[in-house]
Structure formats: structure tokens, C-alpha cells
Amino acid sequence: MLCIDTDAKGDLASTLGSPPVGFQPRVVQSNVSVLTLLPEESLQEYLRIYFRVPRFARLTPLARIFDFIATGVPGAREMLVIGKIAYEEKQRDPDGSPVWDIIIIDAEATGHVLPQLRAARTMLELVKGGIIRSQVEWIDAILADPQRSLLTVCALPEEMPVVEALEFQARARRETRMHMGACFLNRVMPVTFTPRQRRVTELMAAESHAAALSEKLGGDVGTVVAGARLAQRLRENGEKHAKRLREGMAAPVIEVPLQVETRPGLATTRAVAAALLAEAGM
Amino acid sequence: MNQAEAVDLAERLGDREVVICAGSGGVGKTTVSAALGMAIVAAQEKRVLVLTVDPAKRLATALGLESMGVDPAPVPRARLKRVLGAQPRGELVTAMLDMKTTWDRLVERLAPDRQSAERIYRNPFYESISDAFVGSHEYMAIEALYELHTAHEYDVLIIDTPPSRNALDFLEAPTRLGDFVGARLLSWLAGPTRVGFRAMGFAAAPFMRMADRLLGSDVLEDLAVFVRDLQGMYGAVQQRAREVYRLLRAPGTAFVVVTTLEPAPFAEAEFFCTKLHEFSMPLRALVVNRVLPDWLRDRDAVAAAHTMLENGRAAAAISEVLGEKVGADVPKRVGEAFTLLNRLAERDNRQVSRLSRLGRVPVARLPLVDHDISDLEGLALMAAVLRGEQG
């Protein structure tokens, strides 16, 4: 598996227990590699592969032509991001099997990722011929093929993130040719009360009961019950938004329970992975 | 400053001309921006504009408005009076950034003449540039802010920055357009006309052949015309970038960093504060949103929750007090729910101790609420906390 970090902050590598990684894929866990996508490095690799421009020749006029195109043509810089991803998808071992079984991209925020996803379309509209057009065409074909690439969206069980996720879906449909694969609803409060449990909790909250229970159980039961009721209300509020998300999302909504992490890292990633496996019944 | 002490951010920020609310996505920047605007007009005779750049119309949601347009619209005073419990002293106006209009106005203002502006509008590259230009949301946010500031229609401008994972996008936005327009190779292309370029012969021919081979024959012509017209704006764009930076660094400008205490947004807030310092831009306040109540860390409660989880007789004790049979699942579920929030509260408390690293500025702590702030009533409660009235 290849995981690609697109914002060069090294967050993705750290969630997989690795120090920051560079542009070349590095194995960080068994069968898991990570690379950080940098447009400048992507440009250099492009020049090396397709035009045999060596790294030391970056200041030659030929290389500067590409600098010019990357700067001047709308969508070109985004294409360097999306093109690298498509290039990795096309990589094959000598026996013809794909180098990567799956590639997961940690994309930028929605405001930035849509220009990247529609960069191929943008360029196809502007560039009617030449080498770049044919290259953009195969990238566009990969993005449009649901057997090869899918879009997933992450949301939180809150009003505005849900609105944004649904708007993102609508814009992705309108502006790209990609298919929606799934929606991950993150930080779901993992607290559920049956109606009976809720009723008993309400009884426990009554002042006289809470005082008597505090005496019997050794501690402040009233505060414990208040905390449990707060968790319950947070869960119910989240459920309201989760329902709206499920109704509007044209893909399965997968819940990821809230993790009490102190910092993102491998332990949190493992906990989330275990939760996803549990959600899938595995 | 004692960070637990209630601070009146409205008083501290109401005398600024520009207030920029920054922070990572999902921390409540838009809601805080709207609440801050409400807090200022509640107490001061100011005309306050809250500008959102987000196409998701989050400010409209936060203000309980069905829709919101690009033209500034006042929040009715009667509605404000109802939720504030008193007549607001100032006027609250909201607007949403319109990317296309802002780009068009920018070109109109900075192009050397009307013909150049018209050519830019018609060029196919211009059609896509506003979205394709990296960081265009960030740039247009600052551009709109600058335009509004120079118009002097409002006493205070509050803007919530675009949700961006990279704070630099916002801070570097003013120079990016200048870099783009002024790129040396673009200048090279834009200098002569393309025909002239071809006439340059020996030196330029390999460039043209390669560019033609890569892009096709038509596109270079369009690009050359577009770039040449943009080049006409270069001096004005550079001047503009300098003026915008001057505004962002001015004493009348205040950056307010909004964060929650969750590790990822908090780390981004730390990063952003560091960058503000590097850019000599004035961090004036921190707003920590969704802070869990202290009582979740109560030791007696933790002891009781522990008993509920570990002591097999807890269910019997509850049954005895309530006078009905209660299964072991009830204390277990109640104990688990409390313990989860207790662990979150302990984590938040550790984060609070790190707040001073973000800067020696006033800190407002907005409590977690168990419902969405999506109406004026909710904003008014938040505004009261920002005014130091309750927490």
C-alpha cells in the first residue's frame, strides 16, 4: 500500500509511526509505504522520465520552459500533484502486476483539492494539442474510472462539517468525473444508551437518589451521571447530523469512534483501524 | 495574564479596524467571527462588517439566516435586541466573499487601461485562473479585506480566513500574485509579441518549438496574450502586495487565533502563531473553543465512576436506592460515558497548560455546548462569553 501526503507537513508519516518522509516512497510499516508529494520534486521527476532532463540541468532553458508552463498555465501545478499520483497508479512490476495494490491520498482541504481534481479537465479545455494533452488524457481517464480511483470524504457529526461534506459531494459531481466511494464520519461519540438505561440514568440524576448513591458507591455519583448525560446529549446531537449525512450521501457512511489521543500517532491510527475493521464486521 | 480570568475581547478588539480570525478548519472560526461581531455591537457604537469567505455559507448558518449574499446586509436590530436583551449600540453587517467579482474588480482596478482589462476578461486562461490559481481563496479574502478597508465604510472589519491546512497560504497570499505576474519566464514570453518572438530566431526558436510540442500551437498564443496583459498590471500588483502587507502588520489590525484543544488543531494554532511572529503580524487574542467543563475532572466523581465500572455490587446498590431491579449494564454504561469525557477533559487540561506557548495575549475560553450554534440566540450566548460576562 502507498499512502501519499499532499501537504508536505509530514502528518501522514507520523500517524504511521515514522519521521517525515520525502518524495521517494519509504516503507514505514509492513507493506505500507509513504511519500510526501512536492510539486517541485514532481516536476523534476517528470522532466527526468519524459524528457531525460538530469537533475543538475535544472537551470537549462529546456527545464525553464517547464517552470514557465507550471507557473503560467492554470491547473499545471495541480497536474503535477495529480499526475504523480496517476503515475504511481500506472507503475507495474516486471510480471505486469501493479506495484501498489492500493494508493491512499491524504488530500488537502476541500477548497484546494477540487482544483486538483479538476485540473485535468481544466487543462484539457485549454490545451488542445501537444504532448501534455495526451498525458493529461490518460490521467483524466484514471480519475474517471471507478475501478481505478474513488473519492472518499471525511466529516464530523456536526452541522457545518456535514453541510460541507454534502456540498463537496455536489461540487465533485458537477466539476469532476470522479465517483464517490465512501464517507467517513469521524469522532462519533461512542456512547449509546438503551431507552431503559436512559430512564434509569434519569432516576439516578434526581438529587435525593444521587446523594444516596454517592454514599453507597463512595464518590460523587451526581457528577458522574451529569457527565454521562452530557455524553448522551452529544451523541444524540451528532446522530441528528449523521442521519442527514446518510440521507444525502450517495455512498456508504462509515462511523469512526472518537479517540482520546494526546497526539496523532501510530497508537491512534491502530485504534481507528481496529474500529474500521469492527465496523466492517471483521 | 491569568488565562482562567474572563477577558472582554469585544473591548480589546473593538477599537481595531481589522480583525482576522484564523485557525484550522472545523474549530468554529466562522461562528466565533460572528459572535465577536455581535459582542462588539452589543457594547460599542461601531459599524461592524463580518465577512466570510466560505462558499459553504457557514456564516449564514451561524447567523440563522436562510441565505446570505455577496452584498453586505445588516442583521436586523430588532432581532439583535431580542437575543441580546438590550438595544445593540452598534450595527452588525454580514457579507460573503464572491471570488469572481473580487477577481474582476482586481483586474479592473489594476489593469493599465480598459482595453487591457477587457482582453483579460475574454481570455480563456482568465476563465479558469480564479479557481486554478493556488491559494486564490486566500488571496481574494485579503484582497476583499483591503478593498473594504480602504472604502472606510465600517469601523471594524472581521474576516474569517478560508479553512486551510497551511497557514502560509493566507499569510503569503499577497506576494503570490505578484510572483505569478512577475515570473521571469512569463516576462520573457510577454516581452515581444509572439510573432516578434519567432523573429528572434536562433535564441528563441528551440523554446518555441519545445513549447509548441508540449502545449500545441494555439495555447501558447492565448497564453502569451494573457501574460502580456497581466504584465501590464505587474507594478500595480506589487504595490498592492506592499500595501496589503502594511495593513496586515498595522497597529489597527488584530489576528485572533481560534482553536480547540484537540491535538491536531492545537498544533496548527501553534504553527500559525509562530508564523505570525515571523511575519511580524500582530496576534492579539486566542479563542479556545469547545472547552470541556472542569467538573469532569472532579476526583470524587472519578472515584464513583471507577466503582461503577469495577465493583460488581454497584448494580445492587443502585437497585436498592431506586427501588427497582437494575442490571449491571447501567452502572457500566454510565461509568464508561463519564470516564470517556473525563479522559478528554484531562487531555484538554494538559493542552491548556501549553496555551502560554502560543503567545502572551488574552485567552477567551468558550465552553463546549451539547448543541449546534446555528441561531442568533446561540451566538448571543457565545458573545456574552467573549465579553467576559459568563463562561
Structure ipTM: 0.83
Report the residue of chain B nearest A166, measured CA to CA: B56
Give B34-44 pLDDT, tens digit per residue.
999 999 999 99
Return the top range by mean pLDDT from B186-200, B205-219, B297-311.
Answer: B297-311
* B202–chain A Cβ distance below 8 A for any pair: no
pLDDT at residue A11 is higher than 90: no
Q: At what angle do helices B29-43 and B376-386 cross, to 10 degrees?
A: 70
Q: Which residues have a Cβ under 8 Å from the Cβ of B72 and sit 6 or more positions away? A: B49, B93, B94, B95
**Cell 486566542 found at:** B286
Q: Where in chain B is the domain with CATH 3.40.50.300?
A: 9-295+348-386
Helix (H), strand (E), coil (C) string for A186-206 = EEECCCCCCHHHHHHHHHHHC
Which domain does A116 fall in, by range? 1-149
Domain with residue A100: its CATH number is: 3.40.50.300
The conformation of residue A157, written as its DSSP 8-state character, comes to S
Residue at A45 is within a domain: yes
pLDDT at A28: 95
* B26–chain A Cβ distance below 8 A for any pair: yes
Residue B90 corresponds to which amino acid? G
Least confident of A250-264, B27-41, B113-127, B174-188: B174-188
| Integer Cα distance of B320 and A207 in angstroms | 16
Residue B336: list chain A partners with CB under 8 A.
191
Nearest CB neighbour to A109, from listed B25, B267, B333? B25
Residue at A77 is within a domain: yes
Percent of chain A scoring above 90 in pLDDT: 49
* B369–chain A Cβ distance below 8 A for any pair: no
Residue at A20 is within a domain: yes
Handedness of CA B143, B144, B148, B151 (dihedral sign): positive
pLDDT at residue A2 is higher than 60: yes
Grid cell, residue B270, equals 501553534
Give A63-119 pLDDT, tens digit per residue.
666 666 665 555 667 777 888 888 898 899 999 999 999 999 998 777 678 877 887
Q: How far is CA A103 from CA A5, A92, A106, A273, B157, in A?
A: 11, 13, 10, 16, 44
Question: Which of B183 and A214 is assigned the larger pLDDT?
Answer: A214
Residue at A211 is within a domain: no
Residue A121: list chain B partners with CB under 8 A.
none
pLDDT at residue B189 is higher than 70: no
Question: Which of B143 and B168 is assigned the larger pLDDT?
Answer: B143
Least confident of B5-14, B59-68, B187-196, B288-297: B187-196
The domain made up of B9-295+348-386 has a fold known as: Rossmann fold (3.40.50)
| Residue A246 burial by Cβ neighbours in a 10 Å radius (0-12, 13-18, 19+) | middle
Count of domains for chain A: 1
Q: Assign B187 a pLDDT band (cuts: 50, 70, 90).
A: low
Q: How far is CA B340 from CA A14, A158, A190, B58, in A?
A: 25, 19, 9, 30
First to last CA, chain A: 20
Mean per-residue pLDDT, B21-46: 91
* DSSP result, B252-274: TEEEEEEE-SSHHHHHHHHHHHH
Residue A1 corresponds to which amino acid? M
User: What is the b/e burial string over B164-199, where b = at least 16 CB atoms within 10 angstroms of the residue's CB?
Assistant: bbbbbbbbbbbbbbbebbbbebbebbbeeebeebee
Nearest CB neighbour to A127, from listed B215, B318, B372? B215
Residue at A219 is within a domain: no
Mean per-residue pLDDT, B217-242: 72
The distance of Cα B226 from the centroid of its chain, to the nearest Å, equals 32
Q: Assign B192 a pLDDT band (cuts: 50, 70, 90).
A: very low
Residue at A2 is within a domain: yes
pLDDT at residue A184 is higher than 90: yes
* A137–chain B Cβ distance below 8 A for any pair: no
